[in-house]
Each structure stands twice: as structure tokens, then as C-alpha cells.
Amino acid sequence: MSPQSIPIHALTEEAHSIGNIRALLTEIASLLDKLDRNNESGMIDLNSLPLAPGEYEKLRLALGRGEVSARIDAIGPSEIIETHYPGVWWVTHYNVEGDIVADLLEIATIPEIIKSQPEDMHAGLARLRTRLSEVAE
Amino acid sequence: MKDHETLSERLAEQGISRRAFLKFCTALASLMALPPESAAAMAQALAKSLRPSVIWLSFQECTGCTESLTRSYTPTLESLIFDMISLDYHHTLQAASGFAAEKSREDAMKNFYGKYLLVVDGSIPINGGGVYSTIAGRTNLDLLQETAKGAAAIIAVGTCSSFGGIPNARPNPTGAVAVSDIVRDKPIVNISGCPPIPSVITGVLAHYLTFGTLPDLDDLNRPRSYYGTTIHDRCYRRPFYDQGKFAKTFDDEGAKNGWCLFELGCKGPTTHNACATTKWNGGTSFPIESGHGCLGCSEPHFWDAGSFYTPLSAPVVNIEATTLGAAIAGAGVAVAMSSLDRNKIHRAQQAHEIMSVKDL
């Protein structure tokens, strides 16, 4: 028996579909509607959902990629991508080894993690003032 | 490291930005099963927290629980957690040994009396006065009773310390019992599992640090956020159960299609744990996703709950012995029936078929 004679049966997409993607897209639409009407942001934690194998990739395909992407380096990288639907962001946090530690869909005008934090701004201002005083001397 | 510093001060010293801390809290909120929006509030509360002393006692165990935590795939998270607590005694991890090791436990008990957290893995043997497991010449029973007195709370890590676990399995020669069988006057959180999911251990510690209280617990003292639902409730194969699609053997068409493993003995419907969502090996998969049913390792007496491959709908009692007992009592018909049943069971085992309650 040659390897070529082994029959290969391609499974249809429906064979493993259990309906999570449609449910998720419906929830995203509802959150996006809230953002649009009331400027109310929302999040979906993908780690807490019982997705079937392959559904994660299907969700990626369904949401696609939009115009904006950003990368943060803070105790490991973070990847922020605006999806094909403005206001819907895919935020993935990795640790320094490259494992995913949090995977979220954030429905907001700007994801929270991108904003400068007040504590960091205070510390940065102090550093800048020190620098200025050194330059003055 | 100075014990009086808050976490935010310590992180600032290490050059960790607030944004990085917010990211850490987002990951913590995710593993604590809290709404992701709570990350900012967590960051505020955690930043102000002081480092609590933790004493970790390992008794009749295999060290799998410690391995689960220290070999986890999120070392940044776990190492940050270790930064948040002062682990003053853990005889597997600490560098000190002998009298110096025992002194660090005694010092922590004295200096933080009424405030330290006591973590226990392993069951406690009580037969023969507890001689089956000793540390520094003292029984586990004695050490637990002494250390529990000044603890603010006890976290029982793993099924052995939570419910007795494998050492407690019949015939239990050492008289192994759970922490809660011995200590009755302290709040106890059971993080069961053989081993428990590492992020659940981290999550409970983080909850204590964030809110200053223990998490909401179920009737077996397990945190509801992780043990509130069954594996079956959150299993991605659940829709197949609802549709009546079951794998009958591990290599049939149903198994290849990823159908429900209920008839192959999966204990998911009666097992409370977070494996189906938190998963293992860095979120790669969990037993059911790898094609094997759940063993029910986070439930009490899971080792004595019948075969791992017997469907939950089948009785756990020894049908053969019960039937033979009835036969001895004089039921002639039962003799013939039991003989027929045993033959059928034997044939089914040989043919690798699934038996139902009706067959038995």
C-alpha cells in the first residue's frame, strides 16, 4: 500500500462547528452598540470561554484586521490590533517567554493599556525635571 | 526586600512601570475569573498591599502541587506573586536546611502570629500517632496543629490536603486525612486537583492580597470562581452531549469527530474545576481536548469512585459481589442470572465494548 493510496477526507467547516463564533459576534455587536450610543466601553475575556479547537482561528478570520496596530514592551510584549470593525480591539498580552497570559477583546475608542498611566507620568515628569536641573548646572 | 514597603514601591524600585503592572493585573483578573474591567481597580488595591508572611508545609504528598506552581508556563506571573508574599518556609524550595530551616518557620510564626497564611500540600497520616510521616523528628499532625494556631487562614493545596487524596484511598494504611479533619477553628480554602491548576493557586493568593479576604467558597470550601461550575458545564464538547453524540471507543468515528466522552467514563459532569477554560500547559489543552475523559481528580475520593472508564450512569458498587451475596442467601434464580451477567461482562471486556446499566 503506497502513501498515495491512503484516502484523505477533508472535513467540512460545519463538522466541528458548535456555534460559539456566532454567539461571540452577537455579543461584540451588542457591546459596540453600547459604545456607539453611550460611549460605554466593554471587554470580553477570551481565556474564560470554552472555545472548540479551531474556533479561535475562526474568530480571528471573522474579525479581521483594521488600520491600527500597536506593540507594548512591558514584562513581555503586548499586541494590540484594531479589527476590521473600528472600536473592536484584539488585545493579547504575552509574558517574557512568549506565552499568552491574557487575551481580550476590548470594545473602546482607545484600549486602556495604550493610555499613559498617571503614576508613570508623575515619575517621568520627575525624571525630566532632574534632567533639566542637571543641564542648567 | 523591606517588608514594610507597599507593592507599588517595590515595583517602582525594580523599574516596573504602572502600565506593566496594569497588564499584570489584567492577566490576574483573567485567571481569577473576574470581569476584565476590574483590572484597574485591582491595580489600585494591590499597589497599596503589604507583603504577608506565608508558611508552606508539605506532608504526605508527591511534590506535584509545588511542581505545578513552580513549573507553570507563566513564570512572570508566578514570580511576581512570589514578590508579593514573603515565603518564609517551604522545605523543598528553601536553601536553609536542618535547624536553620525549622528556625525560620518558628521565627515567622512568632513575628507574624495571627497574620501569616499557612499553605499545606499533602495529607496528614494519623494512624500510629502519625509516625508514617515526620519532618525534623516531628509528626505532620504535630506540626500542623502547632503551625495552624497562629495562622490567619489556611490554604490546602491539592486533593491530598483538601480531601485526603490518593494516600486516603482504600485501604488507607496510614490513616491519611485532610487538613479540615484536624483543624476546625480556622478559615480553610481547598484548592483541590491532582495537581491543582497553578493559576488557581496564584489566583487565590492574589485575591487575598487584593481584597484582604478569602474568596467566596462552595460547600467543599473551594473557591467558587474556579470550582463553581463542572468541567461538563464549560466543556467545548458539551453540545455533542446535548445532541446525543457519543464516542463509544477511543478510536471510533465518534472519537475522531471529537464527540462527547461520557460513555468512555468521563467524570466531567460531576467534577468541579476550571480545566475546561483555564486549561493546562500554558493554555494548550486539557485532558478532554486531548481525547481522554476527565478523571475527576478535584473531587473527594476520586480514586475510589470506580473505574475511570466506567460511565457515570453505571453503579459504582461491586455488582458481582452483591449478586453473589444474594445467591448465597438462597435465591436460585439469582445464581443463574449472576453467572449470565458475569459471562456478559467478561465478553464485553474482551470485545472492548461499552456496558450500560441494563447490561449489568
B255 CB within 8 Å of a chain A CB: no
pLDDT in tens, A102-114: 899 999 999 999 9
- Over residues B181-207, mean pLDDT: 91
Rounded Cα gap, residues B311 and B330, in angstroms? 31
Rounded Cα gap, residues A1 and A4, in angstroms? 8
Rounded Cα gap, residues B360 and B347, in angstroms? 12
- Over residues B329-350, mean pLDDT: 48
Question: Percent of chain B, pLDDT > 70?
Answer: 82
pLDDT band at B224 (very low <50, low <70, confident <90, very high): very high
- pLDDT over 60 at B245, yes or no: yes
Minimal-distance CA residue of chain B relative to A14? B257
How many inter-chain contacts (A to B, CB under 8 Å) are there? 108
- Taking the complete model, does pTM exceed 0.90, yes or no? no
All three cell numbers of B184: 476546625
Q: Quick one: which of B110, B132, B109 has its CA closest to B55? A: B109
Q: Quick one: which of B46, B272, B65 has its CA closest to B155? A: B65
A32 CB within 8 Å of a chain B CB: no
Name chain A contacts of B276, Cβ cutoff 8 Å. 50
What single string gives the DSSP state of each residue in B10-63? Answer: HHHHTT--HHHHHHHHHHHHHHTT--GGGHHHHHHHHHT----EEEEEE-BS-S
Q: Give yes or no for a contact between A99 and A105, defined as CB atoms under 8 angstroms apart.
A: no
B239 CB within 8 Å of a chain A CB: yes
CATH number 4.10.480.10 is the correct assignment for the domain at B231-304: yes
- Over residues B69-84, mean pLDDT: 62
Name chain A contacts of B239, Cβ cutoff 8 Å. 18-19
What torsion do the CA atoms of B215, B219, B222, B223 make, to the nearest 10 degrees?
Answer: -30
All three cell numbers of B120: 499545606
A48–B277 CB contact, under 8 Å: yes
B36–A45 CB contact, under 8 Å: yes
Nearest by CB to residue B76, choosing from A43, A76, A112, is A76
Minimal-distance CA residue of chain B relative to A42? B37
Residue-level pLDDT at B164: 97
Q: Give yes or no for a contact between B295 and B267, defined as CB atoms under 8 angstroms apart.
A: yes
Backbone angles phi, psi at B236, to 5 degrees: -70, -15
Kindly report the CATH number that applies to the domain delimited by B51-227. 3.40.50.700
- Over residues B22-51, mean pLDDT: 82
pLDDT in tens, B144-184: 999 999 999 999 999 999 999 999 999 999 999 999 999 99
pLDDT in tens, B87-141: 888 888 888 888 998 999 999 999 999 999 999 999 999 999 999 999 989 999 9
Minimal-distance CA residue of chain A relative to B243? A18
Rounded Cα gap, residues B39 and B42, in angstroms? 5
B306 CB within 8 Å of a chain A CB: no
Residue A119 lies in a domain: no
Residue-level pLDDT at B315: 66
pLDDT band at B207 (very low <50, low <70, confident <90, very high): confident
B258–A16 CB contact, under 8 Å: yes
Q: Exposed/middle/buried for A130, CB within 10 Å: 0-12, 13-18, 19+?
A: exposed
Residue-level pLDDT at B15: 78
Residue-level pLDDT at B72: 63
What torsion do the CA atoms of B197, B232, B24, B208 make, to the nearest 10 degrees?
Answer: -70
A100–B282 CB contact, under 8 Å: yes
Domain boundaries, chain B: 51-227, 231-304, 321-349
All three cell numbers of B355: 456496558
Residue-level pLDDT at A10: 59
Residue-level pLDDT at B163: 98
Q: Quick one: which of B29, B51, B65 has its CA closest to B157? A: B65
pLDDT band at B49 (very low <50, low <70, confident <90, very high): confident
Residue-level pLDDT at B360: 34
Residue A133 lies in a domain: no
B282 CB within 8 Å of a chain A CB: yes
Average pLDDT of chain B to the nearest whole number: 84
Any idea what the CATH number is for the domain that residue A28 is in? 3.30.1370.140
pLDDT in tens, B53-62: 899 999 999 9
A76–B74 CB contact, under 8 Å: no
Which parts of chain A sit beneath pLDDT 50?
A: none
Q: Quick one: which of A16, A10, A99, A100 has its CA closest to A55? A: A16
Mutation target for A interface from B73, B236, B241, B259: give the one with most A CBs within 10 A: B236
Least confident of A5-9, B177-181, B216-220, B323-327: B323-327
Is the model more confident about B7 or about B87? Answer: B87
Residue A89 lies in a domain: yes
Q: Exposed/middle/buried for B100, CB within 10 Å: 0-12, 13-18, 19+?
A: exposed
pLDDT in tens, B264-299: 999 999 999 999 988 887 778 899 999 999 999 999
- Per the structure, how many domains does chain A have? 1
Q: Is A54 left (phi over 0), alpha (psi -120 to 50) or beta?
A: left
All three cell numbers of B108: 515567622
Q: By residue range, what is the domain housing residue A73?
A: 16-111
Kindly provide the ipTM of the predicted complex, given to two decimals: 0.81
Is the model more confident about B311 or about B209? Answer: B311
pLDDT band at B7 (very low <50, low <70, confident <90, very high): confident
Minimal-distance CA residue of chain A relative to B76? A95
Residue A105 lies in a domain: yes
Residue-level pLDDT at B77: 52
The C-alpha of A135 sits at a distance from chain B's nearest C-alpha, in angstroms, of 24
Residue A137 lies in a domain: no
A72–B24 CB contact, under 8 Å: no
